[in-house]
Structure 1
Amino acid sequence: MKNNLRFDSNGKFKIVQFTDIHEGPSRDKSIELINKILDYENPNMVILSGDIIDGKCQTAEDVKKAINHIAEPMENRNVPWCIVFGNHDDEHNMMTKEEMMNLYMSFKHNLSQVGYKTFDRIGNYNLLVESSKDKTPKFNIYMIDSGKYAPAIIGGYDWIKLTQIWWYKRTAINLKKKYKRLIPALMFFHIPLKKFKKACKTGLVNGERLEDESCAKINLCLFNKIVKIGDVKGIFVGHDHFNNYCAALDGVRLGYAGYTGYGGYGDDKIPRGARVFLINEENPADFKTWTRREFDTELKK
C-alpha cells in the first residue's frame, strides 16, 4: 500500500508543480532541470499538470520510455507524485489515457488515480494531506482532466464538463459531512478557465503574463461553484508556456506554473521552471507560492 500524504514534523507541506514537460522517447534537458529544482526545494510532493509527454512518441514503447524518464526524478528521491492530463498527452495515439494512467500508477511513489471518469476524461480525483500528529486530514488536492479540443463547430479548447463539476461538488460536500468542516484545498488542471483573464485584469498580479490565456470558449460555472462551496483556495494550471503569473478573484488565487520542458514551444529568454507551494498545518488556507526558474542563482550553486 502506498504511503499517505502528511505534513512534516514542522507542520509544513511543500508541493512542486511541473508542467508542459513535453518529454519524448529521447531524454532531453527537461529531466536535468527537474532534478535541480527537486534537489533545491526538497518537496513533500510533486504534481505534473499536463502535457507531460506528446506526439513525439511513435510507438507504445516510446510512450513507456518517456514516462519512465518523467518518473525517475521523483522515484529516485522517494517523493510522492501525481499527474493530470493535458491536451497533448495522448496525441501519439499509441496508448489510451487509461493505459497511460495505469502505467503512471504502477510506479511505487505515484499517487495518481483513475478516479471519476467519463467517455473522454480520466483522472478526476482528490488526495488528502494528513496532520503531522495523526490521520486527521488538514488539506485536500483536487486533480481534474480539462480535456483537449472543442468540437470543430465551436473551435478552440475543450472545457470542464458538468459531470466533472458535479463530481467536485459531491466530493466537497461528502468531505464536509464526514469531517464536520471544510477542508482547504488546491485544484490543478491543465487548460485555464476564462476567469483567469478577468483575474489578471482586475486582481493583484504577481509574475508575468506574456501571452493570451488559451482557455475554452465555453464556461460551465466551475469557478462559481468553487466560490460558493469555499474549500478551494487556489486553481493552478499549465498550457500557456509564457505565463507564470498568480492573480486573485473572489478569494481564490488563479495561477500558472510557466513551463518546465524543452520539448514544446519555448523561448530561451523566458526561463523554464516550476511553481512551488508551501502550506502550513496551522493555517492551511493561507498558502505561500512562488516560482523556481532555471536561471535562478539558487539552482547554480
Structure 2
Amino acid sequence: MNRRSFVTTSLALSSAAAALPESAPGRDALRCGADGLFRILSISDLHYTPRIDTHGIALAERLIDTEKPNLVVVNGDCLSGKDSQSEAELRTSIGYVAAAMEKKQVPWAVTFGNHDQEHFPKTQIGKDAVLAMYSAYPHNLNAGYRQGLHGAGNKHLLIWNAAGTQPVYCVWLLDSNDYFQDGKNRPYDWIHTDQILWYYQTSVELEKQHGAKIPGLMFFHIPLCEFNEMVNHAKIIGTRQEHESPSPINSGLFAALLDRGDVRGVYCGHDHVNNYMGRWRGIELGYDGSLGHYTYPHVEPDDPSNLHVRGGRVFEITQGAPARHKTWMRFKDGSKNWESLSDAFTRDHVKD
C-alpha cells in the first residue's frame, strides 16, 4: 500500500469511527479490540446497603483485574433497597455499586432486580431518578434508555468491530420488574408486552439498517419460565443448588426471541446459588452467580464455601462472519469452570 492509499484508508476508518453512535450520551461507542475480541463481565445480586460490603467490592475489582472486561453488566438486585431509608443512604449504596467499575475505569450498566426499589416507600425516589444517579458516574452507560415502557432502563448497546465499520453483537438490557398483586399474594412480575414489542421492533430496525440480524446477548434479573423447562429436559453445565424462581406469568418473550432468531443467550441473576448454563430450543439460558457477601448463602465472608459460589460470568465475543461468543464462570477462588476449556465438548454437552 502506497502512502496516499494508506492515508486515505486511515482517514476513512477514522471517519467511520467518529460517526459511530454513542453507547450513551457523551460516552464512546463500544468496540472490539485490535485482536477482534470484546469481553463482558456480568455480576449480580450485590445487595449493597449503606453499610459497605468490602468483600463484594474487592471481588468485583479482582474479577475486573483478572478478566479485563470491556463492559460490566450489574444484572439486578444491585441494592437491598429496603436498607436505604433516605436519599443520602440510597446515594451511598449506589456509590458502592459504582465503586469497582469507576476505580478501574470500565464502562458499565445496571438492570433492576426485584429488591432494588424497596427503598421507595421511604425515599419516594422512582426508577428514572435512580437511573439518573447511576448515569451521573463517568463510566456508566444507562442513560439514553427507551422511555415509556414498563420498568426502566430498557436499552440496547451495540458492540462494533475493531475497525468501527459494522456492529458485531448487541447487548440487550431489560427490566424484569419486581412484584404484582395477585389476590393476597405478591408473586414476581414479568417482562411486559410493550417491552417485548420494543425489543422485536428494534431488532427488525437494526437488521434493516445493517443488512443482517445482529447476534445478541440479553440480560435481566428474574429468569423465564423456560429455565424450568430446560433443566427438566436438557443438559446443563455448572451448579444448580436451588429451584428456579421465575414469574408465574409467561409473557412470551422467549417466543419472540425464537421468532427473531438473533439473541443467542439470555442470562439472569436472582437465584443466588445457581450459576449454570444450557441451551433450550437453540438459545442459551443461564445465570451469572452472585457477588454480594451480605446476602444468601448466609456464611461469613471468609468462609471457604464462598470461594466457588460467589463470582461472575464472562462472555468473550469474537468478531467475524458471523461473530461468536463463549462464556464461563470466574469464581472468588480465581478458578473458572470448564465451560471455557473445550468449545466442542461444551457444544456437545449442552445439546437441547
Q: Deviations over 1:213-243 (max 9, x none)?
A: 1101111211011011011000000000011
Q: Compute the RMSD of aligned alpha carbons.
A: 1.6
Aligned equivalents of 1:180, 1:36: Cα separation in 2: 39
Contact 2:168 2:323 in 1 (8 A): no
Say which SS state the counterpart of residue 230 (structure 2) adopts: helix
**Residue in 2 aligned with 1:108?**
138
Runs of 4+ in structure 1 deviating by more than 6 angstroms, as ranges, are none
SS across alignment from 1:36: helix
Q: Partner of 1:220: helix, strand, or coil? A: coil
Give 1:263 deviation, angstroms: 2.5
- Deviation track 1:172-212 (CA, whole Å, cap 9, x = no partner) reads 00101111100000000000000001111222200011111
Q: Which residue of 1 aligns with 2:239?
A: 208
Paired residue for 1:78?
A: 105
1:287 alignment partner, SS class? strand
What SS class does the counterpart of residue 69 from structure 2 fall into? coil
CA distance in structure 2 between the aligned counterparts of 1:287 and 1:10, rounded to whole angstroms: 14
2:279 aligned residue: 248
**1:114 positional shift:** 5.3
Match in the other structure for 1:278: 316
- What does residue 56 of structure 2 align with? 30
Mapped contact 2:73–2:109 kept (Cα < 8 A):
yes
Which stretches in structure 2 are left out of the alignment for 5+ residues?
Answer: 1-25, 300-304, 337-352
What percentage of residue pairs aligned between the two structures are identical?
A: 36
Distance 2:271 2:129 in 1: 26
Q: Equivalent residue of 2:83, what SS?
A: coil
1:149 positional shift: 0.7
Query: Following the alignment from structure 1 to structure 2, what is the Cα–Cα distance between the partners of residues 57 and 265?
Result: 19
Contact map agreement 1:139 1:284 (CA 8 A) in 2: no
User: Does the CA-based 8 Å contact 2:113-2:222 persist in structure 1?
Assistant: yes
Match of 2:206 in 1: 175
Whether the 8 Å contact between 1:194 and 1:215 is mirrored in structure 2 is yes
Aligned twin of 1:126: 156
Equivalent residues in 2 for 1:111-190 (5 A)?
Answer: 111-113=141-143, 115-118=145-148, 120-153=150-183, 155-190=186-221
Q: Is the Cα contact below 8 Å between 1:185 and 1:285 reproduced in 2?
A: no
Which blocks of at least 5 consecutive residues in structure 1 are unaligned?
none
* Cα gap change, 1:218 to 1:114, in 2 (>3 Å): farther
Alignment size in residue pairs: 298
TM-score, length of structure 2 as denominator length: 0.81
Could you tell me the TM-score, scaled by structure 1's length? 0.95
1:119/1:184 CA distance change after superposition, 3 Å? closer
Counterpart amino acid of residue 70 in structure 2: N
**2:324 counterpart letter in structure 1:** D
In the TM superposition, what is the alpha-carbon distance from 1:265 to its structure 2 partner? 2.0
Instruction: Give the AA of the match of 1:280.
Output: T
Q: Is the 8 A contact 1:98 1:114 kept in 2?
A: no
